[in-house]
Amino acid sequence: MGAQIRVYRQKIASTSSMQKIFKAMELIATSRIGKARARVSASLPYSNAITRAVTAVASQAEVDHPLTTEPEQIRRAAVLVMTSDRGLAGSYSASVLKQAEHLIELLRGEGKDVKTYLVGRKAQAYFDFRGRDYAKVWTGGTDAPEFKTAHELREALLEDFATEFEEGGVEEIHVVYTQFKSMVVQEPTVIRLLPLEVVEEEVESSADLLPLYEYEPEPEQVLDALLPRYIESRIFNAMLQAAASELAARQRAMKAAGDNASDLIKKYTRLRNNARQAEVTQELSEIVAGADALNAS
């Protein structure tokens, strides 16, 4: 019986230590998510401005540009998958990978080859474990993205997009990431990055109309300068949203883990007390039985 009590004490001690770790990670995620959300908000004005500029050029000038022209046949697509470097974030990375698998299956069902680019060690481990090829991987700092990583991603993707199919190039680019909507809702999202789809939305008043521009140099040269920056801003914004989503998911996961640890501690404490009470009862019974035996002799 004493051994059973020691087992419960060890379980209580180990669970309490884990609970402290969960609480510390929850506090770290909570403290960092405010900065992550601020970075998302700070990236929006530039992203919106360059989007309007690209839309103005592409919609008001009939331009035959490689980045905005839909090819007659798409034979190979690139898929950029953004996951996390670390775990302990619930189903965050698993949800992104599930969405990526669905997209890859859909593209292959359309007869397209798929070339995969990965962000995060979780995606790398997922593909390595299954023995699946990928073109390139970027790891480190998924919960605090750096702009130079977005620049490297842009360069790699645009280089493949500019390469001929026969030489291993791609003809469209998709990005799979987690869109941050609120502290409670983060949604795995797929966007087609290239060729750029310019949608001319209906407007209700002349105030919403884009101004008419005269371009100097030519619109093609303007797009040559704007589109790489547009692609870079879209990728960086996706990375920032993914980082905020990762921290929010980790904060929720650590809170749930801490609550579960509290429940386990209560359960083990109750079982330890029951075992101690049973031991005391047994000792009293032995004492009484011994006293009765002495009296009878």
Give the tens place of pLDDT for each residue, 81-92. 999 999 889 899
Task: Tell me how many domains the chain contains.
Answer: 1
Identify whether 120 is part of a domain.
yes
Beta strands at 186-194 and 172-180: parallel, antiparallel or unpaired: antiparallel
Q: Kindly state whether residue 181 falls inside one of the protein's structural domains.
A: yes
Residue 259 belongs to a domain: no
- Asked if 157 and 117 touch (Cβ cutoff 8 Å), the reply is yes
Residue 179 inside a domain? The answer is yes
What is the pLDDT tens value at each position of the chain, 297 positions in all? 567 888 888 989 999 999 999 999 999 999 999 999 999 999 888 888 888 888 777 766 666 777 777 888 899 999 999 999 998 898 999 999 999 999 999 999 999 999 999 999 999 999 999 999 999 999 988 989 999 999 999 999 999 998 998 898 999 999 999 999 988 899 999 999 888 765 444 333 444 445 555 656 677 777 888 888 989 999 999 999 999 999 999 999 999 999 999 999 999 999 888 888 887 787 777 787 777 777 877
Instruction: Give long-range contacts, CB 8 A cutoff, 24+ apart: 264-271.
Output: 264/11, 264/15, 265/12, 265/15, 265/16, 265/19, 268/8, 268/11, 268/12, 268/15, 269/8, 269/12, 271/8
Q: What CATH number does residue 135 fall under?
A: 3.40.1380.10
Looking at the domain assignment, is residue 294 inside a domain? no
How much is the pLDDT for 204?
39
Q: What is the Cα–Cα distance from 153 to 97, expressed in whole angstroms?
A: 19
CA distance 118 to 274: 52
Give the end-to-end CA distance of the chain in Å, rounded to a whole number: 30
Report yes or no on 225 lying in a domain: yes
Rounded to an integer, what distance in angstroms lies between the CA atom of residue 82 and that of residue 6?
46
What is the extent of the structural domain holding 80? 63-198+217-244
Give me the amino acid identity at 56.
Answer: A
- Bridge partners (DSSP) of residue 188 are 178
pLDDT at 140: 87
Summarize pLDDT for 11-36 with one digit per residue, the tens.
899 999 999 999 999 999 999 999 99
DSSP state of 207: G
Q: Residue 227: inside a domain, yes or no?
A: yes
Query: Alpha helix locations (H) across the chain?
Result: 2-60, 92-109, 121-129, 147-162, 219-296
Q: What is the pLDDT of residue 84?
A: 94
Residue 74 lies in a domain: yes
